């Protein structure tokens, strides 16, 4: 008996920042057939809110360091403002959306990031996903909307990379579903030339990826996302796409299909 189809879609902050772009994306997401899950970030909005509160955002090599004040902002922004705004907009599009952090229903358990060189503060790395409960929600026709907040099971919340949340949810749910993982962001896909928006790599295998890495062709900011992709494929995810929100439209073929 074949598994039902599940789409796990991650949307980046550059779309969330733009009201009209977000609405257009949500219309296409709401129209997706089959079971679906949305995972969102929202770092730029968190940074703006932090600045309005005289809290300075701290980064190390492009990754946010989350101290106690910044954790409060992240929880308010991701789990509150952005998550509930998206949930309400999906309800208006006749999708029965329900917003979650990892702490809700013990859906995503994390541990504090272990890094000998840098202390990222209250940043968590995913340990476990409660796929059993996610399956129950999906079968009740709920559309889960996950913010980038998880917990450690001991009362501590963590800021967590949304790309990683999407891939770990996709892997965990692959026991029950045929999972299609989609990363939507501001580019049309993985580019051969970061200066040329039209240089989309249509199909990227692991072997081709390694060759392009050696040639230093792929932009460094894309590497963690692609590592997540190949790890997810290795662990049971059926198919992964990377591209702009247009990727959700049935007639769009310009995006990067990542395959093992």
Please report, in range form, the residues annotated as the binding site for substrate.
42-43, 64, 159
Q: How far apart are CA 129 and CA 133, in angstroms?
A: 9
End-to-end CA distance of the chain, in Å?
24
Residue stretches of the annotated binding site: 42-43, 64, 159
Residue 128, burial from CB neighbour count under 10 angstroms (0-12, 13-18, 19+): middle
Residue 170's alpha-carbon distances to 23, 87, 148, 183, 229, in angstroms, are 24, 20, 15, 12, 10
Q: How far apart are CA 100 and CA 138, in angstroms?
A: 13
| Greatest Cα-to-Cα distance within the chain, rounded to the nearest angstrom | 56
What token pair was written down for 26? 């949500």
Give the list of residues 6+ apart from residue 157 with CB closer than 8 angstroms, or none.
71, 75, 101, 103, 122, 149, 150, 151
In the chain, DSSP finds a helix count (H) and a strand count (E) of: 9, 14
Give the list of residues 6+ apart from residue 129 with CB closer than 8 angstroms, or none.
107, 108, 109, 168, 169, 171, 172, 173
Residue 112's alpha-carbon distances to 61, 78, 117, 137, in angstroms, are 19, 19, 14, 28
Which of 192-208 are b and which e, b meaning 16 or more Cβ less than 10 Å from the residue's Cβ?
Answer: eeeeeeeebbeebeeee
């Amino acid at each position: 008996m074949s598994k039902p189809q599940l789409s796990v879609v991650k949307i980046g902050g550059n779309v969330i920042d733009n009201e009209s772009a977000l609405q257009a994306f949500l219309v296409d997401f709401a129209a997706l057939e089959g079971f679906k899950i949305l995972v969102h970030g929202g770092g730029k909005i968190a940074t703006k809110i932090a600045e309005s509160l005289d809290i300075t955002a701290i980064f190390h090599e492009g990754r946010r360091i989350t101290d106690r004040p910044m954790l409060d902002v992240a929880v308010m922004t991701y789990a509150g403002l952005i998550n509930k705004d998206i949930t309400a907009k999906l309800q208006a599009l006749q999708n029965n959306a329900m917003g979650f952090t990892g702490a809700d229903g013990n859906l995503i358990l994390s541990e504090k990031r272990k890094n000998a060189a840098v202390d990222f503060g209250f940043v968590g790395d995913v340990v476990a996903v409660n796929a059993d409960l996610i399956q129950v929600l999906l079968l009740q026709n709920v559309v889960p909307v996950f913010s980038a907040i998880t917990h450690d099971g001991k009362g501590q919340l963590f800021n967590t990379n949304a790309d990683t949340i999407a891939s770990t949810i996709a892997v965990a749910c692959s026991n029950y579903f045929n999972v299609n993982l989609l990363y939507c962001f501001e580019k049309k896909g993985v580019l051969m030339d970061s200066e040329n928006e039209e240089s989309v790599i249509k199909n990227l295998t692991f072997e081709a990826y390694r060759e392009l890495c050696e040639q230093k062709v792929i932009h460094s900011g894309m590497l963690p996302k692609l590592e997540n992709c190949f790890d997810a494929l290795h662990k049971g995810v059926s198919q992964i796409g990377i591209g702009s929100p247009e990727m959700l439209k049935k007639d769009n073929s310009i995006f990067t299909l990542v395959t093992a």
